[in-house]
Structures are given as C-alpha cells and as structure tokens.
Amino acid sequence: MEALLRPSHPSLPSLPSLPKLHHRLPKTRPSSIQFTTTTNNSRFLVQPLFNVTSPRLNPSTPKPSPFRAAASNAPAVALESGGGSESSKFLGVDVTTIKKVVPLGLMFFCILFNYTILRDTKDVLVVTAKGSSAEIIPFLKTWVNLPTAIGFMIVYNKLSNVLSREALFYTCMLPFIAFFGVFAFVLYPNVHFIHPIGLADRLLEILGPSFLGPIAILRIWSFCVFYVMSELWGSVVVSLLFWGYANQITTIDEASQFYPLFGLGANVALVFSGRTVKYFSNLRKNLGPGVDGWAVSLKGMMSIVVGLGLVICGIYWGMNRAIKAEGGGRKKKKEKMKMGTMESLKFLLSSRYIRDLATLVVAYGISINLVEVTWKSKLKAQFPSPNEYSSFMGDFSTCTGIATFTMMLLSRVIFRKFGWGVAAVITPTVLLITGIAFFSLVLFSGPLTPVFSNLGVSPLLAAVYVGALQNIFSKSAKYSLFDPCKEMAYIPLDEETKVKGKAAIDIVCNPLGKSGGALIQQFLILTFGSLSNSTPYLGGILLVIVVAWLAAARSLDQQFTPMVKKDLKDKLIEGKISAVNTGLTGRLPPKKGGVTYRFVSTLNPMGFIEGKYVPLVEDVSSNGQLQHLTVKKLDAKDQVEEVVGATTMKPPPTEAECSGDEGNNHVAIEESESPEKSL
C-alpha cells in the first residue's frame, strides 16, 4: 500500500511511524459509511450495512480526499464518511428523490383530475346531443381524432427540433387551457348560432339515416372539437408531456419504486373528480325553471380545469429551476438529429422494441374501444338526460379511482415479486375476462330476463352495471400496471429513440388503437345493420387482439430486461471492470475470520438493483502490493457458497497517471470471467 501511495503523496510518513501517529490521534468514534455509485446522469444510493470506526483528525490536519474508483469506463464509487456531508433522508428516502417524486405526484394528480372531468364531459356532449347518439363515436375517432393526432405529431416533431424542452411543454400545454375556457364561456352559450342545424337536417333527408354519424359531426362540430381536445389531453399531456418529463429526471431505480405510487395520488384525484362531476351535474335540481343546468355545470367544471392547468404549469416551472434532469438520459445524449416525419417513422418501424411497444398501445386502444362503445350505447338508453348521464359518470369515475387505488397498492408487490413481464400481461388478461362477461350478458340478455326480473332490475340496467364493472376493472389495471410498464420500457432507450418513439407511440398509436376499434365497429355496423347484431363478432375480434397483445408483451419482456442489464453494466460495479481502493479495503473491519468485505451492485432476476457485501480473499506479494482478489458469493447464512470470479490487479499507476487524481488511492481490476458470470 505504501508503494502505491508514495508517488502521489511524497510527504506520507513511513509505515513504522504510523503507530506513533495513531497514539497522537484523539479518541475514535464510530461513523457510518455510505457507498454511492454515480453515473453520468444518475445516482444509486445504498444504505450502509455496518459502521466503520474512523479517527477524528486534528482540526489543523487537512481533511483527506474521499476515495473514488477511477477504473477505465467504470463508474465512480464515492466514500462519504461521517465526517463528510451525508445525503439527507426522510423516511428512508433520499431528500433529492423526494424533491422529484412529490411534485411529480402532485402534477399527476392535477393532470388526472382534469382528464377525468374532460373524459366524462366529452361523452355527455356528443352522446346526448340532439341529433346524435353513441354511433357518432366510431366515426369521430376515425375521421377526426386520428387525423388531428397525426397532425399534432408532425407539428410536435418540428417543434422538438427548434424549441427547448421547457418551451415545448408550455407550447403544448397553454392551447389546451385556453380552449377549455373559451368553450365553456363563449362557444357553448352560442351553440344555436354556430351549429349548422338546418344544413345537417337537409343532408340527413338527402343521404338517409345511414349517415347519421358523419352528419352529426357537422351538426355539433364544437362538441366534436371539445371531444378531440379531451382525447388529446390524455395522449399529449398525460403520456407525452408528463411521462416524458418524469423519464428525464428519474432513474431506473426510482422509477421501479415510485412510478406505481404516482398513480396513488392520481387515483385519489379520480375519486375527488368523480365527486366534483356528480356535484355539478346535480346543480340542475337547485336551479329555477328555464335555466340551462348543463351550461352552469359546464362553466363550473371548465373553470376548475383551467385553474388546475395553470397549477400544472407552475409546478413544472418550479421543478425546472430546482431539479436538473439527472436520471432520464441513461445513455450519453447524442447530437440531435434533424429527421423528417417519414424518416422518423421509418426509423421507429425498423426497431422491434418500438414495434412491440406500439402493439401494446394499439391493442389496448382497440380492445377497450370494442367494449366501451357498446356499453355507452346502453348507457344513453338508460340515462338520456345530460345531467343524469353525467351524474352516473361521476359515480363511475369515483369507483374507478377507488379500484385503481387498491390496484396501485398491489402493483408495487407485483413489480417487486414478479417483475416487469408478469405485470405487463395482467391488464390484457383482466380485459379479456371482463370483456367476455359483458358480451355474454348482452348476447344472452333475453334468456336471462326472468332472472333479472326476480332481482328487480331490467336487462338494460344490468348491462349498464356489468359494463361499468368491466370498464372499472380494465382501467384500474391499465392505470396501475399497464401505464407504469409502458413508461418504464422507455427508460433504457437512447435519447433519439425515446423522444421520437414516444411521440409516435403516444400521439399516433394511441388514437390509432381507438380508431382501429372504431373502423372495426363501422365495418360491422354497415355489414350487419346494427351494433347489437355485431356483438358476437366483436367478442371474437377481442379475443384475437388480446392474444396478439400478450405475444407482444412477452416479446418486449425478452428485450427489456437485457437492455436494462446492459445499461447498468456500463454504470454499476458488476465485476467486469471494477475498482477496489486498497486504503478502503484496509480500513474495513473484518466481519468473520479476518476476511475483508466489499460492496457489489447487482441485478436481481426481475431487473432491479440489489447490493451485497461479499468477502475478499487477497493475495499480497512480497512488496506489499495486492496481486489477486477473488470475489466469493454468499448464501443466505452469509457462508461462502461459490467463487464467482477471480481478478488480477494491474500494475500500480505511475506518477503521471496519478497526477490527475491526487489523493485518490485506487487500483483497477479487470474481471477474468465472462460478463454473464460477474456480479
């Protein structure tokens, strides 16, 4: 050790004099050791497993530099002793992480609160409007929503090349806030002037009732614009803006721990927003005759949407000034490429990983749409009034929030015990089972009528409630498992694939899934005459789509885990290229039988980070240098189970090599085993 330290510390006393120095030191006190693995963009903190007794130096003595590992291409390992500045923790979580997680959770709460209000309101507007019905939804999603989403993606890709991340966020967010305010206070009160009711009636007489859906889009065009903007809120604000920003500032370790928990606060928002919708929907009972109760309700709800939209912008503004993006860019950011829309799509289609991820999103959109439109047609028949329809949707959102909150609590256990792959297949399984139950009830409602009569409910009301349960279970699984799985899958990607891949998937594939389901329904309606006659075929198509969804999830799981392992092998100490500080290993007290221990970061089978102290068997040469080091694996009782890998020390660094890191005494080690066998 002295030979290694001498080139960079010529004033270091000789070994025989060290005992005398020890006697002059004050009384020792224990101080905790904290190991921190640091990457270019992220930090993974590991709690100390034991204390190290270190002397408190005389105040006049210069404070020694912290030990750092400086092996080639290896991540740094910083040693922070009790005398240094320890990272503050609250409830066992690093304060830096809390500063990211709490504002993100509050932002997600506000976004989902608004989304619930908008989602419930858009259906009330287009389904219960005069001259419209639930059959307008397939045409609206196909011929209005999808082209608008594609146009937005084109504009977004252009803006992403010229605007900063923060400016891009505000540019996308503020138009939503402005529109919803203008709609409630300007457009809706004047619908009788801006809607071409007479033209729509004449077209319906000429073309016939088969064109009721397309003509209804023209008849209530402002409601349709509201519908599209509400749909885009889910795709743009929730998926693109929020999750894109969250992925940029969080690490993989933080994501695996806290992404499922984001939904806890978000689904509290579902409960409260559902109560809010129900409250405003019931205002009609307290209003005098001749007052448009739905207009009053709409103004109240849109005022809340605008206010929370401004709160979201404020939180984002504050986080950009308090937190730097240190976790999202897993790979070193390359110089931004200038790619056109077609080039971007070709680039994304060439990636199997992105294709599988897109399949998940499209399959969910088609599957939920096949069930949801049929359910909404039953819902309008049961609740024809806008206020009654909206009141029921408020109760529906509250129940969805409670169910999702419960699933969020279970999701963390699912991720920890079973991993990403199992979590990814739960949502399609739930949707398949509940979808079959709903379609079976609709198909066999006639034979079941006597049973429902004995229960005091009509077959129509039973179908409404069973369809509501199907949507509640499916969406709770989506929010608690599907969305976190989808967002975690973006993290290992490089910056180019992440930004443009996420834009293409969230802005195009989301509406494409819904429009795909709508196209299927339009084809079946035109072929078999009505939606009810198409129900058996919708059930069969649902089965095929879910099977494809399950296959894509399995394929993505086979790619996701190796990508995460490869990503972490570049940044964590896993034995392939490691660094052991001889001064550090010399100071660590023996745990058993005089064996020195070191900390090794590893991945468990689920792809999450774990750490463990392993014993070191040192072979010291005649000149005192550490020549060989063997890492051994411990069993559950901390007994040596097997030799994992042997390492051979490089020659001591020269004075020139040490000049750049004076005081950082380290020796590089190269793993002799293959990477797959390294810890």
| Digit-coded pLDDT (tens) for 118-177 | 988 998 899 888 888 777 888 888 888 888 988 898 898 889 889 888 899 999 999 999
Residue ranges of the alpha helices (H) in 383-494? 386-443, 449-455, 459-477, 483-490
Averaged over 625-635, what is the pLDDT? 47
49 or 285: which leads in pLDDT: 285
Confidence of residue 670 (pLDDT cuts 50, 70, 90): very low
CB 52 within 8 A of CB 556: no
pLDDT of residue 616 exceeding 90: no
Given this model, what pLDDT does residue 315 score? 93
CB 242 within 8 A of CB 474: no
CB 467 within 8 A of CB 439: no
The first and second tokens of residue 196, run together, are 């071409």
Helix (H) or strand (E) holding 51: strand 51-54
Three-class SS state of 325: coil
pLDDT of residue 420 exceeding 90: no
Contacts of residue 258, defined as CB under 8 A and 6 or more positions apart, other chains included, come to 97, 101, 250
pLDDT of residue 389 exceeding 50: yes
Q: Output the average pLDDT for the chain.
A: 71
Helix (H) or strand (E) holding 45: strand 43-46
Q: Dmax of the chain from CA atoms?
A: 107
pLDDT of residue 663 exceeding 50: no
Mean pLDDT is lowest, of 74-83, 388-397, 539-548, for 74-83
Confidence of residue 221 (pLDDT cuts 50, 70, 90): very high
Distance, C-alpha 654 to centroid of its chain: 47
Phi/psi of residue 643, nearest 5 degrees: -80, 120
Confidence of residue 512 (pLDDT cuts 50, 70, 90): confident
The first and second tokens of residue 18, run together, are 């060290």
Distance in angstroms (rounded) separating the CA atoms of residues 203 and 286: 39
Confidence of residue 537 (pLDDT cuts 50, 70, 90): confident
Helix (H) or strand (E) holding 611: strand 609-620
Express as a percent the part of the chain with pLDDT over 90.
Answer: 12
Distance, C-alpha 459 to centroid of its chain: 39
CB 264 within 8 A of CB 406: no
Per residue, the 3-state secondary structure of 507-556, as one string, reads HHHHHHHHHHHHHHHHHHHHHHCCCCCCHHHHHHHHHHHHHHHHHHHHHH
The DSSP letter of residue 235 is: I
| Strand extents, DSSP E, 70-229 | 76-80, 89-90, 93-94
Given this model, what pLDDT does residue 565 score? 67
Distance in angstroms (rounded) separating the CA atoms of residues 359 and 547: 11
CA-closest candidate to residue 510, choices 609, 366, 379:
366
> 601: how many CB neighbours lie within 10 A of its CB?
23
Handedness of CA 266, 270, 272, 276 (dihedral sign): positive
pLDDT of residue 492 exceeding 60: yes
Distance in angstroms (rounded) separating the CA atoms of residues 296 and 375: 27
Q: What is the pLDDT of residues 550-609, one digit of tens each?
A: 998 888 888 877 776 666 665 544 443 333 333 333 334 444 444 555 545 444 444 444
Averaged over 212-222, what is the pLDDT? 88
pLDDT of residue 243 exceeding 60: yes
Given this model, what pLDDT does residue 298 score? 92
The DSSP letter of residue 254 is: H
CB 595 within 8 A of CB 618: no
Per residue, the 3-state secondary structure of 198-225, as one string, reads HHHHHHHHHHCHHHHHHHHHHHCHHHHH
CA-closest candidate to residue 376, choices 464, 465, 258:
464
Mean pLDDT is lowest, of 45-59, 177-191, 452-466, for 45-59
Angle at 442 between CA 436 and CA 447, to 5 degrees: 115
Given this model, what pLDDT does residue 347 score? 58
pLDDT of residue 61 exceeding 50: no
Long-range (24+ apart) CB contacts under 8 A made by 202-211 are: 204/131, 210/526
646 or 139: which leads in pLDDT: 139
Instruction: Go through the domains of the chain in sequence order and give each one's CATH number.
Output: 2-75+572-677 (no CATH), 93-569 (1.20.1250.20)
pLDDT of residue 74 exceeding 70: no
Residue ranges of the alpha helices (H) in 183-292? 191-194, 197-207, 212-219, 221-232, 243-249, 252-281
Distance in angstroms (rounded) separating the CA atoms of residues 274 and 107: 18
pLDDT of residue 6 exceeding 70: no
Dihedral angle over CA of 640, 642, 644, 650, nearest 10 = 60
Tell me whether residue 143 is exposed, middle or buried, using C-beta atoms within 10 angstroms of its C-beta: 0 to 12, 13 to 18, 19 or more: middle
Choose the most confident range, by mean pLDDT, from 77-86, 116-125, 493-502, 621-630: 116-125
Q: Would you list the DSSP string of 366-395? A: HHHHHHHHHHHHHHHHH--SHHHHHHHHHH
Given this model, what pLDDT does residue 268 score? 82
Averaged over 30-40, what is the pLDDT? 36
Given this model, what pLDDT does residue 636 score? 52
pLDDT of residue 226 exceeding 60: yes
Helix (H) or strand (E) holding 598: strand 596-603
The first and second tokens of residue 603, run together, are 């991945």
Using alpha carbons only, how large is the chain's radius of gyration in Å?
31
User: What are the beta bridge partners of residue 643?
Assistant: 632
Distance in angstroms (rounded) separating the CA atoms of residues 304 and 44: 39
392 or 93: which leads in pLDDT: 392
Confidence of residue 105 (pLDDT cuts 50, 70, 90): confident
Q: pTM of the full predicted structure? A: 0.61
Confidence of residue 263 (pLDDT cuts 50, 70, 90): low
Q: What is the pLDDT of residues 296-313, one digit of tens each?
A: 889 999 999 999 999 999
Tell me whether residue 244 is exposed, middle or buried, using C-beta atoms within 10 angstroms of its C-beta: 0 to 12, 13 to 18, 19 or more: buried
The first and second tokens of residue 7, run together, are 């080139």
Given this model, what pLDDT does residue 26 score? 43
CA-closest candidate to residue 217, choices 203, 230, 205:
203
Given this model, what pLDDT does residue 175 score? 94
Contacts of residue 637, defined as CB under 8 A and 6 or more positions apart, other chains included, come to none
For residue 146, give the amino acid letter.
L
Given this model, what pLDDT does residue 569 score? 60
Distance in angstroms (rounded) separating the CA atoms of residues 482 and 443: 29
CB 64 within 8 A of CB 662: no
Residue ranges of the alpha helices (H) in 67-184? 95-128, 136-140, 146-160, 165-182
CA-closest candidate to residue 597, choices 650, 640, 562, 567:
640
Q: What is the pLDDT of residues 396-417, one digit of tens each?
A: 988 888 888 888 788 878 888 8
642 or 81: which leads in pLDDT: 642
Given this model, what pLDDT does residue 88 score? 64
Averaged over 86-106, what is the pLDDT? 69
Phi/psi of residue 97, nearest 5 degrees: -65, -40
The first and second tokens of residue 543, run together, are 């089965």
